[in-house]
Chain A
């Protein structure tokens, strides 16, 4: 059923987006998993993993900043690129399309606040 694979294929370790690059799209994982790492003080710090059905790179849809982390394939992975312009046009017609993006971003923010609070309390 290889012929029915959608998106672009990456191999283990391939960089899909690089911290500091400009971005005008987000990605949805069709199959496999990716690792999100942030380059701090010369070191790569893993901050999250994302798997099938999840998205990454969504910040560039809402702001015009450079990519804040590098995303690498963890094993073979396929991703679908979602263009900013296409998504913005759809959101303009149907704001509820943003529900899921906002829900996931709010969940990620919640996790992050939990983590910060945990660290501060130590």
Chain B
């Protein structure tokens, strides 16, 4: 039995969901439409939304391009190493938050989350100077270091949830079996928390993959760019005769992130909300 108010609320929810979906899906379908066109059809613009002679040639052409593959590789390297770094650096902090009952624990968890709220834009200029001072401008190491730092807050939270899911009694059993703290962590806690850690790793990779600002200001040499920066630069210099290629490149770029998210959707959502229900 659904009350009338309930029906109205449902309709409103669906209407909002449709609007939000349209907001993201319209540009995406437009991109698909462009990527499947021949150069001639590009000139029809929106008047011929479904191309008459759809073609996959654009994708082939982009994927054969040495430069494009290099951008993809750069993006993979930066986001992968950045994510791995975040997880490694966050793990000890998350473990301490999960296992040790110290004063100010709740406040510190909140403080870490507060850092997450600070927009990257705000700190961009000091960060740039700082990186310059460290001599890390124009290096992948510098970009990775920033990715690690940016990813830390949410990673600490996600890993704390993952560690919370490992019963303390298992660590006690290992202690009785003669294992020290660190060995217990490596042999018991870490493997049992690994699904949660994998989710954190992939979520970080997706976030890093879509990073634009940081590599844009840090890297000026074409050969070092990740795909996000490269596409932006090409979009600036694009002509109608290359639009179809750019669209194909864009699709190829967002595809890994979408695929990763769809595959791991359940794991990620449960990792993000795990603490929410239990409180």
A in complex with B: no
Report A's interface with B, CB cutoff 8 A.
none
